[in-house]
Structure 1
Amino acid sequence: MDYTAQILKNPIFKIVGEAADEMQVETYVIGGFVRDILLKRPSKDIDFVCVGSGIALAKTVASRLGNARVNVFKNFGTAMISYKDWELEFVGARRESYRKESRKPIVEDGTLEDDQNRRDFTINALAIGLSKHNFGKLIDSFDGLKDLKRKTLRTPLDPDVTFSDDPLRMMRAIRFATQLHFDIEPDTFDGIVKNADRIKIVSKERIADELNKIILADKPSYGFKLLFHSGLLKLIFPEMVDLHGVDIIDGKGHKDNFYHTLQVLDNTADRSKYLWLRWAAILHDIAKPATKRFDKKAGWTFHGHEDKGARMVPKIFRKLKLPLNDKMDYVQKLVRLHLRPIALVKENITDTAIRRLLFEAGDDIEDLMKLCKADVTSKNDVKVKKYLSNFKKVEKKMREVEEKDRVRNFQPPITGDEIIEAFNLRPGRVIGEIKEEIKEAILEGKIRNDKQEAWNYMLEVAQKKGVELN
């Protein structure tokens, strides 16, 4: 068939097929690789399933590849070979059964049909024969090819069973739908809704992994809408669901911050593929429900939501098992600063305000500006153009100030050690105070970011504090 001929051009399939015939085990290429090639998507991970020992087959293939290294995972009955740019995984066909309290299956040897039955979706159950008698034959037991053409995700068996057995498949369904721009077949989606509560038995790490893949898709909002309507989002990330809805008092309403956040996320995705910038987009307004107030004159306000949101970031990262490292610090910084450039879109913008923003944002200033531009979601084109034009003015001013004052990666020109030596001091609070005053003077524009000017200013500060030169 035409669509399999393309797949089987690579000599690796002939090598695996010959090894399988030598061992007299039926062998197939199956799953994601077949799906992706049929969808004309690049793929370098190939799964082979054989009716026999996958580990033994891997070792035979490795010898035919010039004694390639085999990584064996006995507990899972799998083996992997890294060959050139390819990751080859071998496993024996399996039959699986599940206990209600766990998504870890009880595994037994099985047939190809058993192995296809245990697959999550019909498009992932497609297999191609590699043995001599069926080389190139597509085995499509569940009309997966039709579902590929229809752009539909469907479970091979009853979705209630599929999702109850392994609830992570619900996240995978939404992830595949988002990545591939597919619809989820109605009965399959109903199965997700019905079993949403089962997600509680899945580890937070596995959920976060799928969530990040959704966030990295071309249009991540689609995945979040599916998560929301299925009931999964409320269970895995309730803070985001809290953004949903509009309150109206005295005829005054605010925008729905859930859908606004999704628009900002999509806008950010258009500007950057960086996962953590996209997380900053998701969390930039996360504290709006907690800071929402109604004022009879001003209407709805969310004062301080940027600071409270930044304080919420570590708790959310911990709960979702996201990394508690510089990635979290980066997201926290962007959430805290996301209103600052908007506040600077005035004609009388001061160098001091620009210096402070450059100092606080540092190397993340470009990403902060991407987030700020993405945050402009008005349906009024004139308003959008005005905001974006103002941001250009701010960026121009930033370049001018940075060229003059070099504060973007500001390091105080006088170190703590130099202060200690100059005044023969013991380490203590006064040293930090002198350094802070020098920093403030530079940011306020009282002195330039220059060693000699900073030294002279330090002497003035020290004199006021009664500290004498050594």
Structure 2
Amino acid sequence: MNYKQALQHNIFKIISHSAKELKLDSYVIGGFVRDFILQRGSAKDIDIVAIGSGIELAKQVAKNLPNHPKVQVFKTYGTAMLRYDDIEIEFVGARKESYNEDSRNPVVENGTLEDDQNRRDFTINALALDLSESNFGELLDPFHGVQDLQDKIIRTPLNPDITYSDDPLRMMRAIRFATQLNFEIEKESLDAISKNHERIQIITNERIVVELNKILEAEKPSIGFLLLEQTGLLQHIMPELTALKGIDEIEGQTHKDNFYHTLEVVDNIAQHTNNLWLRWAALLHDIGKAPTKRFSKKVGWTFHTHEFEGSKMVYHLFKRLKMPLNDKMKFVQKMVFMSSRPIVLANDIVTDSAVRRLVFDAGDYVDDLMTLCEADITTKNPSKFKKYHNNFKIVRQKIIEVEARDQIRNFQPPVSGEEIMKTFNLKPSKEIGIIKETIKEAILEGIIPNEFDAAYQLMLKEGERLGLKVNSES
């Protein structure tokens, strides 16, 4: 492979020239080189290692670039970053690291390129391309990372037991790369993750969530979650998921393994949406089943109200993992809470009023909800699989028809509270709420159309029932 092809962008010549001016050696290292070899498209992130000061090299590069882009300096980490031509370039001086047991933050000393490659997490991320004039584009691969790319293997440059114990986040990164690239983690490395899984507890939840998100955004997220469970990491991160694992049997009656079912649903939804938060909803849609699982001789295993319980658990899980407690969390909650509604519809005769209620409750998220419920079909029976999907097609068509006719999505009552107050000369009171609810229910049930005149007449009728007198001036 001609590695000079990776360095065709003019930024590399400028970095090479700048390093020569400072009498430094410089190298492109890590993901940029890996992704070039894998032909994963043009990278927007480039890591540069300088044998000397990375910060000084960044400043020199900025000086030699047109428009002299601003250099962001992170003195604590000894790094600097600049943006050029939609590319983010990070500069660091070559270093060697040592760790203490209670932190993943290393003690850092200046080092050689070899030291810097030794400290890398995986062999496939230790690949470097020389930027010096004399050896421009030469590959330095001390740990046979190219071979590991060809063999589709995740392996650490040094002893994996030490690598993962020193920086336990690397366990998450190993699983994330295995998921993204569809690679295998070699046995010694996988065993070391299982051995060190408790060390994940020194990593901040924010860092862990970054890796979880990348696993969820992969083409087949189940690869990562199976590895997280297999190595013992998932129990520390999301015990709500591991609680779903296993099949209980009483008097010959069993239920499905809800952990493996969940992973099937996540893989299914990944084929139809890149919406990260909808993928989170798929991952968490059944977490309420563990605390609500019951057995009775009459009906067997039940999970009554698991959607309600699960939606409450979403908040606590997001809060614990330091995830956003904003509209994203509320969206996941809503999807979990409503996750069975379209399924009930698809099993019954689809009435207009049921569809109106579904659209009213789901609002703008009704399409996302339908996508989640279609992903929830994991039956291995071909005829059932076809039947359920056909039923959902009917529900989707019914939603389009009802929407076009009744405009229920983001429903606003045709008669406002102010109109009711004016008509009956009322101050804010419970009667206004009763009248608004009566109008809403009549529209959802199809008793009256979603129009002002019909709603106004019903308002007058309901006001009369409540003993209200019409204001003669209205």
Q: TM-score scaled by structure 2? A: 0.96
Q: Counterparts of 2:176 and 2:348 in 1: how far apart (Å)?
A: 45
Size of the aligned set, in residue pairs, is 469
Q: Counterparts of 1:437 and 1:78 in 2: how far apart (Å)?
A: 64
Alpha carbons 1:119, 1:125 under 8 Å: kept:
yes
Q: Counterparts of 2:189 and 2:11 in 1: how far apart (Å)?
A: 36
Correspondence for 1:191:
192
Aligned-pair CA distance for 1:347: 5.9
Correspondence for 2:30:
31
Matched, 1:308 2:309: yes
Q: Counterparts of 1:426 and 1:96 in 2: how far apart (Å)?
A: 71
Residue identity matched to 2:465? K
Aligned-pair CA distance for 1:54: 0.8
Q: Counterparts of 1:235 and 1:64 in 2: how far apart (Å)?
A: 48
Correspondence for 2:118:
117
The CA deviation string for residues 232-258 of structure 1, in whole angstroms up to 9 with x for no partner, is 000100010010000111222111110
- Stretches of structure 1 lacking an aligned partner (at least 5 in a row): none
* SS of residue in 1 equivalent to 2:459: helix
Matched, 1:21 2:10: no
Residue identity matched to 1:305? H
Alpha carbons 2:4, 2:136 under 8 Å: kept:
no
Aligned-pair CA distance for 1:360: 0.5
Residue identity matched to 1:180? L
Q: Counterparts of 1:248 and 1:242 in 2: how far apart (Å)?
A: 16
* SS of residue in 2 equivalent to 1:103: coil
Residue identity matched to 2:11? I
- After TM superposition, the structure 1 = structure 2 runs for residues 347-362 of structure 1, keeping only pairs within 5 Å, are 348-362=349-363
- Stretches of structure 2 lacking an aligned partner (at least 5 in a row): none
Alpha carbons 1:47, 1:90 under 8 Å: kept:
yes
* SS of residue in 1 equivalent to 2:174: helix
Residue identity matched to 1:15? I
Alpha carbons 1:50, 1:91 under 8 Å: kept:
yes
Percent identity, aligned pairs only, is 58
Alpha carbons 1:3, 1:38 under 8 Å: kept:
no
- After TM superposition, the structure 1 = structure 2 runs for residues 38-437 of structure 1, keeping only pairs within 5 Å, are 38-42=37-41, 43-66=43-66, 67-346=68-347, 348-437=349-438
Aligned-pair CA distance for 1:456: 1.4
Give the root-mean-square deviation of aligned CA atoms.
1.3
The CA deviation string for residues 268-294 of structure 1, in whole angstroms up to 9 with x for no partner, is 001111111111111111111112122
Aligned-pair CA distance for 1:263: 0.4
Q: Counterparts of 2:374 and 2:112 in 1: how far apart (Å)?
A: 55
Residue identity matched to 1:469? V
Aligned-pair CA distance for 1:383: 0.6
Q: Counterparts of 1:350 and 1:135 in 2: how far apart (Å)?
A: 70
Q: Counterparts of 2:243 and 2:85 in 1: how far apart (Å)?
A: 48
* SS of residue in 2 equivalent to 1:76: coil
Alpha carbons 1:442, 1:448 under 8 Å: kept:
yes
Residue identity matched to 1:162? T
Q: Counterparts of 1:445 and 1:83 in 2: how far apart (Å)?
A: 59
Correspondence for 1:7:
6
Aligned-pair CA distance for 1:345: 2.3
Aligned-pair CA distance for 1:346: 4.7
* SS of residue in 1 equivalent to 2:48: strand
Q: Counterparts of 1:171 and 1:90 in 2: how far apart (Å)?
A: 24
Alpha carbons 1:284, 1:338 under 8 Å: kept:
yes
Aligned-pair CA distance for 1:167: 0.7
Q: Counterparts of 2:118 and 2:430 in 1: how far apart (Å)?
A: 69
Correspondence for 1:451:
452
Deviates more, 1:272-281 or 1:341-350: 341-350
* SS of residue in 2 equivalent to 1:91: strand
- In the TM superposition, structure 1's runs of 4+ consecutive aligned residues that sit over 6 Å from their partners are none
